[in-house]
Amino acid sequence: MSNPIATAPSDATEKPTSDFQSYLAILRAAVQSKMEYRGSFVAYIFTLIGFYGAQVSVIALMLNRFKQMGGWQPGEVAFLYSMLLLCNGVVSAVFSGMTEFSELVREGTFDRVMLRPLSELGQILAMKFEPGGIAHLILGLAALFVADNMIDLEWDIVKVSFLVGSILGGVFILAGIRIIIAAVSFFAIKNQGLQHLLVFSAREFLMYPVHIYSFPVRVLLTFMFPIAFVNFYPAHFFLDRTGQTLFHPYLSYMSLPIGILVLGASLVFWRFGVNRYSSTGS
């Protein structure tokens, strides 16, 4: 008779590989499903380019009229916009499932997700992976290239590392917000109003330097709904701007720590919602 204790280490080492393969299979199926209708996918890409093109046109018109925006030159605003696009590119690709989560709860699909011996959140992210989000990244890199040519940024290993950390922090912040709003569906089911207000509409604030807004709005976007750390605060480090437009100069280094805090809080709230979830069919 085999010794169960002797086989335990083998099972423990095989399980992560099995889980990884399961997530990979779900992800592959999601991508294949998206790419099955190539015409729709291409139309989505062109729509995305048109949307961002319209945003850039509005910013360009304002800068052409006023020459600067709150003391920020066109190249600096372009850099601000490029950071937003890069963060949003990762979030749109990986965390798009969070914006559709209320439908999974309402239709009962989440019940099936919970039956599998995998992370519920990991399954949803793999199921709803959006390949079109890569277009955001390409546009973000293009905007960064344009901004670099306009203001001639001097890159070194420190700035490149800080850019990666800042983008990661911004991704954590935007992803955390999506997870929190998705978790509201465990209690309210429909959360479309919050989605439009806090995910899509709030992003418009980040297209411009945050200090041009009123003091209460700046407090809101810094300490209560900290999306200003996605691009506005870290941009000060790269642009060598003084702390005159900041509450404190150290805030320009806080993107990654704030991102970790927001993402951690969102995961706690998500787990709280999962533990109290009752099927819509019950």
Please state the rounded mean pLDDT for residues 28-50: 73
What is the pLDDT confidence band of residue 97, given thresholds at 50, 70 and 90? confident
Q: How far apart are CA 223 and CA 75, in angstroms?
A: 27
User: Which has the closest alpha carbon to 250: 271, 222, 213?
Assistant: 222
pLDDT at 1: 44
pLDDT at residue 11, rounded to an integer: 43
Closest C-alpha to 181, from 105, 98, 246: 98
Are 202 and 180 contacting, i.e. CB atoms less than 8 angstroms apart? no
The arithmetic mean of pLDDT across residues 136-152, rounded, is 85
Question: 73 vs 42, which has greater pLDDT?
Answer: 73
> Are the C-beta atoms of 270 and 113 separated by less than 8 Å?
no
As a whole number of angstroms, the distance between CA 228 and CA 220 comes to: 9
Q: Do residues 51 and 194 make contact, with C-beta atoms less than 8 angstroms apart?
A: no
> Does the pLDDT value for residue 9 go beyond 50?
no
28 vs 165, higher pLDDT: 165
Tokens of 123: 């399954």
Q: What is the pLDDT of residue 6?
A: 40
- Give me the pLDDT at residue 99, please: 87
Tell me, what's the pLDDT at 121?
93
- What is the pLDDT averaged over residues 52-60? 70
Give the separation between CA 234 and CA 103, rounded to whole angstroms. 35
107, 154 in Cβ contact below 8 A? no
- The DSSP call for residue 184 is T
Which range, of 3-7, 193-197, 242-246, averages the lowest pLDDT? 3-7
Q: In this predicted structure, what is the pLDDT of residue 257?
A: 97
Q: Is pLDDT larger for residue 172 or for residue 194?
A: 172
Map tokens 């951690």 to a residue: 264
pLDDT reading at 263 higher than 60: yes
Q: How far apart are CA 211 and CA 207, in angstroms?
A: 12
Q: How much is the average pLDDT of 62-88?
A: 83
